[in-house]
Amino acid sequence: MPPFGLRLCFTLCFVPFAYASRSPANFQVVQSSNKLDTTATTPGFGLNSALLYRTTGSQKSVRLNKDAIANEYDPSTKNEQSLPASFDWRNYQPAVISPVKNQGACGSCWTFAASECAESAYALKTGKLVDLSEQQILDCTPNPDHCGGTGGCSGGTAEIAYQHMAATSSGGLSSEWTYPYVSGKGANQTCQKEPHVVANVKAYNFLPPNSKDAALKSMLVRLGPVAVAVDASSWSSYKGGVFECKPTDVKLNHAVQLVGYGTTDDGTDYWTIRNSWSPQWGEDGYIRIKRDDSQCDIDDVPTEGQGCASGPTSVKVCGHCGINYDAVVPIVEDQSHIQ
Ligand SMILES: *[C@@H]1O[C@H](CO)[C@@H](O)[C@H](O)[C@H]1NC(C)=O
């Protein structure tokens, strides 16, 4: 039984009532008995990964079309034998994953997924982990085609955030501390015109819908943490372990950051995902969900997830909670020296 009543906040961004509207002070913390699975890492992989990233991140694997903002990532050119059996960006040094955030009662998951992946891409590029501004994405990203909602606290997608930044000459992300998150109670704010830019998103990589697990693993390990869309309708009572989404009624309605994968001692494959419902939720703010690209369903409300108003009225979504449907990794430039 979920501890509190549930509320589907807006379109994209499922937010359970407990995490949306209880302040940490009066929130009864349900401690997870399952600690993070630190065994799910190949010891010493961090170094190899740095090499992989630097050598493949420059030209070949990314396959940048010169002026294209959206670049399809093609894992077929890689030697996938070299992918580790388990992987977790939280174990990478210097760190590329900032502390778990709380979106509050605002349908802003898409801004968190987008800023978290930009933070990771920036950290991989510069060695500096800087919390970047969800609020700036929330306030400044237009959503005329109503992709994943109508914009601001009423939903969007990581992709429209990156498209907007890449298409804007001054487009770039400020740090969290110069442009802090204030929409936790659900109110939109006005875009601040001259943000102090740290990281400039110039393009992004994506996978075709419902790519295989191997492709998503490759993208994650080669390029960095991935913004993915999921059905989080039944995540509210999650406390730990490997979660299995029902194979029916899958509706993408949430955006999160994929940070790793592994296999439990009893042989269950999983993805490790960072959520934005505070560190009190799940496994210290994270969830592991079953990794199995053969489970597919039809999502008949795609505009609540990754779809746009002009798109199809139903889409096939694969993976538990639909995680294989949409995968995006930003490509960033360091802008901090310009200020
Ligand atoms: C937030 O802003 C968007 C974009 O302007 C708008 O469509 C939406 O209705 C607003 N949501 C709220 C809760 O005010």
Q: Which domain holds residue 198?
A: 7-334
pLDDT band at 13 (very low <50, low <70, confident <90, very high): confident
Answer whether residue 101 is part of any domain: yes
Atom of ligand 1 nearest to the CA of 150: 7
Question: CB neighbours of 170 closer than 8 A, spacing ≥ 6?
Answer: 194, 197
Answer whether residue 133 is part of any domain: yes
* The token pair that represents 130 in the structure block: 């800087």
DSSP string, 266-306: TS-EEEEEE-SB-TTSTBTTEEEEE--TT-EEEES-GGGTT
Q: Is 109 a catalytic residue?
A: yes
The crossing angle, in degrees rounded to 10, of helices 45-57 and 213-223 is 90
Specify the amino acid at residue 206: F
Q: Is 324 a catalytic residue?
A: no
- CA–centroid distance, 153 to ligand 1, in Å, is 6
Task: Decide whether any atom of ligand 1 lies within 6 Å of the 150 Cβ.
Answer: yes
| 3-state secondary structure at position 243 | strand
Number of domains in the chain: 1
* β-bridge pairing 286-290 and 242-243: parallel
CB 203 within 8 Å of CB 70: yes
What is the Cα–Cα distance from 100 to 288, expressed in whole angstroms? 15
Residue 61 has what pLDDT?
36
Give the percent of the chain with pLDDT over 90: 71
Helix (H) or strand (E) holding 202: strand 197-207
Answer whether residue 1 is part of any domain: no
Q: 94-151, pLDDT tens digit by residue?
A: 999 999 999 999 999 999 999 999 999 999 999 999 999 999 999 999 999 999 999 9
Mutational pocket test of ligand 1: of 9, 185, 188, 303, the residue with most ligand atoms within 8 Å of the beta carbon: 188
The one catalytic residue in 9, 109, 147, 318 is 109
Half-sphere exposure of 230 (CA within 13 A, CB side): 34
| SS3 readout for 230-248 | ECCCCCCCCCCCEECCCCC
Q: 160-186, pLDDT tens digit by residue?
A: 999 999 998 766 899 999 999 999 999
Could you tell me the CATH number of the domain that includes residue 266? 3.90.70.10
Residue 37 has what pLDDT?
31
Answer whether residue 96 is part of any domain: yes
| 3-state secondary structure at position 162 | helix
Residue 17 has what pLDDT?
63
Answer whether residue 48 is part of any domain: yes
Answer whether residue 2 is part of any domain: no
Answer whether residue 45 is part of any domain: yes
Half-sphere exposure of 240 (CA within 13 A, CB side): 12
Q: Is 191 a catalytic residue?
A: no
Burial tier of 176 (Cβ tally within 10 Å: 0-12, 13-18, 19+)? buried
Task: Decide whether any atom of ligand 1 lies within 6 Å of the 151 Cβ.
Answer: yes
Mean pLDDT of 241-265: 97
Answer whether residue 246 is part of any domain: yes
Mean pLDDT of 74-84: 79
Q: Is the predicted pLDDT of residue 250 greater than 80, yes or no?
A: yes
